[in-house]
């Protein structure tokens, strides 16, 4: 690949601007909120962490259903950034867990800060400035949820709804690009 723009275009094409992954993540967050409400806050946290392990494989399946490959070119120089961002996110889960030991209502807001800041790297991965807004809304949601001491399930549902809304935004953006 001769330029970052070509690498970003490859990522956008392969992963439909990241929309399948966002939909999968938002679905896991919503499920975690439902479980936190109907079973227990701890069960909701376990649901997010366990379900989080399925986001990438589920997003690849959704990519194929949506007609995109779910596979970037092997020579794409942005692939290490995607992997590094994932490792960083995984290493931050214990921080959110530590926050939950102090106050269980802090787990999901802390995770909103983690995933929101991770989405900032997607601005570079996909070349889509909308990821700055997406990340900022998730981070603001995390601070708001913590500041208002919302119930565990509400924080999870807010995160899931924000993700699903931005998933639609990214999918529509990809559809517009395909038509152009």
Report the first-to-last Cα separation within the chain, whole angstroms. 22
If pLDDT is split at 50, 70 and 90, which confidence band does 179 have? confident
Helix (H) or strand (E) holding 86: helix 79-102
CA separation, residue 71 to residues 13, 82, 115, 126 (Å): 9, 12, 22, 14
pLDDT in tens, 78-102: 999 999 999 999 999 999 999 999 9
Whether 44 and 35 have beta carbons less than 8 Å apart is answered as yes
The confidence score (pLDDT) of residue 105 equals: 97
Q: Is the pLDDT of residue 180 over 70?
A: no
Q: What's phi and psi for 44, nearest 5 deg?
A: -65, -40
The confidence score (pLDDT) of residue 53 equals: 95
Closest CA to 143 of 158, 163, 153, 121: 158
pLDDT in tens, 5-56: 999 999 999 999 999 999 999 999 999 999 999 999 999 999 999 999 999 9
Residue whose token pair is 């529509």: 172
- Tell me how many degrees the CA angle 178-135-67 measures, rounded to the nearest 5: 25
pLDDT in tens, 132-173: 999 999 999 999 999 999 999 999 999 999 999 999 999 999
Task: Please state, as a whole number, how many other Cβ atoms lie within 10 Å of the Cβ of residue 91.
Answer: 10
């Amino acid at each position: 690949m001769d330029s970052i723009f070509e690498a970003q275009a490859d990522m956008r094409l392969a992963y439909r601007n990241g929309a399948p992954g966002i939909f999968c993540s938002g679905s896991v967050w919503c499920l975690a909120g439902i479980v936190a409400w109907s079973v227990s806050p701890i069960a909701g946290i376990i649901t997010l962490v366990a379900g989080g392990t399925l986001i990438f494989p589920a997003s690849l399946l959704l990519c194929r259903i949506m007609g995109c490959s779910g596979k970037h070119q092997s020579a794409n120089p942005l692939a290490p950034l995607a992997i590094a961002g994932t490792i960083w996110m995984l290493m931050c889960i214990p921080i959110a867990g530590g926050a939950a030991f102090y106050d269980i209502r802090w787990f999901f807001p802390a995770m909103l800060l983690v995933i929101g800041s991770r989405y900032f790297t997607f601005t570079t991965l996909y070349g889509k400035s909308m990821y700055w807004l997406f990340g900022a809304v998730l981070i603001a949601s995390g601070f708001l949820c913590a500041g208002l001491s919302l119930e565990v399930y509400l924080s999870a549902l807010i995160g899931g709804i924000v993700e699903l809304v931005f998933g639609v935004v990214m999918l529509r953006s990809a559809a517009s690009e395909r038509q152009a």
